[in-house]
Structure 1
Amino acid sequence: MERIISLLPSAAEIICLVGGEQEMVARSHEGGHDFPSTIQKLPILTRSKTSFTTSADVDCQVSAALAQGDSLYDLDVDQLKVLKPTIIVTQDLCNVCSIDLVSVQRVASKMDPRPEIVTLNPTSVAEVMESITTVGNAIGRQENAAKVRSELEGRIQRCIDVATQVTQDTPDYQPKKVMFFEWTDPIYPAGHWTPEMIEMAGGVHPINPPGIPSKRVSVADVVATQPDVLIICPCGLDLETTRKEYALLKEKEWFRDLSSQATTVALVDGNQMFNRSGPRLVECTEWLVMLLHDRPDFEPVGFPWERVK
Structure 2
Amino acid sequence: MYSSRGDDAAGGAGSAGDVERVVSLAPSATATVAAMGGEDLLVGVTTHCPLDRTAVGGWLNPDYDRLADLDPDLVCTADALQADVRDELTARGYDVCHVEPDRLDAVVDSFATLGRAVGRPEAGERLSDEARRRIDAVRDRVPERSDSEQGDDDARPVVYCEEWGEPPMAAGNWVPEVVEAAGGSYPFCDPGKRSREVTREQVEAAAPAHVIVHHCGHGDRADPDILADRGWDLDASVHVLDDDLLNQPSPRLLDGVETLAALFHGE
With the length of structure 1 as denominator, give the TM-score of the two structures: 0.74
Please name the residue that 1:216 is paired with. Answer: 197
Query: In structure 1, what is the Cα distance between the partners aligned to 2:264 and 2:62?
Result: 42
What SS does structure 2 have at the residue aligned with 1:250? helix
Q: Distance in 2 between matches of 1:279 and 1:47?
A: 21
Deviation, structure 1 residue 197: 1.0
Is residue 2:103 matched to residue 1:124? Answer: yes
2:10 is equivalent to residue 10 of structure 1:
no
Check 1:45–1:195 CA distance in 2 against 1; reply closer, same or farther (3 A cut): same
Are the counterparts in 2 of residues 159 and 289 from structure 1 also a CA contact under 8 Å? yes
2:112 and 2:127 in contact (8 A); partners too: no
Structure 1 position 266 matched with structure 2 position 243: no
2:68 pairs with 1:81:
yes
Q: Please identify runs of 4+ aligned residues in structure 1 that moved more than 6 A.
A: none
Q: Which residue in the other structure is 1:277 paired with?
A: 249
Correspondence for 2:7: none
What is the rounded CA distance, in whole Å, between the counterparts of 1:43 and 1:204 in structure 2? 42
Match of 1:102 in 2: 84
Matches within 5 A, 1:248-263: 248-253=226-231, 255=232, 257-258=233-234, 261-262=235-236
Aligned with 1:233 (options 197, 205, 214): 214
Deviation at 1:115, TM superposition (A): 2.4
Shift of 1:105: 2.7
Q: Percent identity?
A: 28
> Hey, what's the Cα distance between the residues in 1 that align with 2:225 and 2:53?
35
- Aligned 1:29-44 pairs, distance under 5 A: 29-30=47-48, 33-34=49-50, 39=51, 41-44=52-55
Residue 247 of structure 1, aligned match among 225, 249, 254 = 225
Aligned residues: 245
Secondary structure (helix, strand or coil) at the match of 2:34 reads helix
Deviation at 1:131, TM superposition (A): 0.7
Q: Distance in 2 between matches of 1:236 and 1:91?
A: 16
Q: Summarize the Cα distance change of 1:138–1:107 in structure 2 as closer, same or farther, 3 Å threshold.
A: closer
Checking the alignment, whether the CA contact within 8 Å between 1:19 and 1:141 is kept in structure 2 is no
Task: Point out where structure 1 has 5 or more consecutive residues left out of the alignment.
Answer: 49-72, 297-309
Residue of structure 1 aligned with 2:135, choices 156, 161, 164: 156
Residues 129 and 86 of structure 1, relative CA distance in 2, 3 Å threshold: same
The change in CA–CA distance for 1:2 and 1:145 in structure 2 (over 3 A counts) is same
Distance (whole Å) between structure 2 residues aligned to residue 134 and residue 251 of structure 1? 43
Cα deviation digits, residues 153-179 of structure 1 (max 9, x gap): 1110011111256869xx543221111
Paired letter, 1:122: P
Counterpart CA distance in 2 for 1:229 and 1:75 is: 37
Provide closer, same or farther for how the CA distance between residues 47 and 151 of structure 1 changes in structure 2, counting only shifts above 3 A: closer
Paired amino acid for 1:269: D
**Change over 3 Å in CA distance of 1:152–1:248 after alignment to 2:** closer
Aligned position for 1:65: none
- Taking a change above 3 Å as real, the CA distance of residues 103 and 281 of structure 1, as seen in their structure-2 partners, is closer
Counterpart of 1:90, as a letter, is: T
Aligned to 1:20: 38
Distance 2:126 2:62 in 1: 34
Partner Cα distance (1:47, 1:155) in 2: 31
Inter-partner Cα distance in structure 2 for 1:21 and 1:183 = 31
Q: Which residue of 2 aligns with 1:91?
A: 78
Other-structure match for 2:15: none
Are the aligned partners of 1:194 and 1:210 in contact in 2 as well (CA < 8 Å)? yes
- Give the superposition deviation at 1:108: 4.0
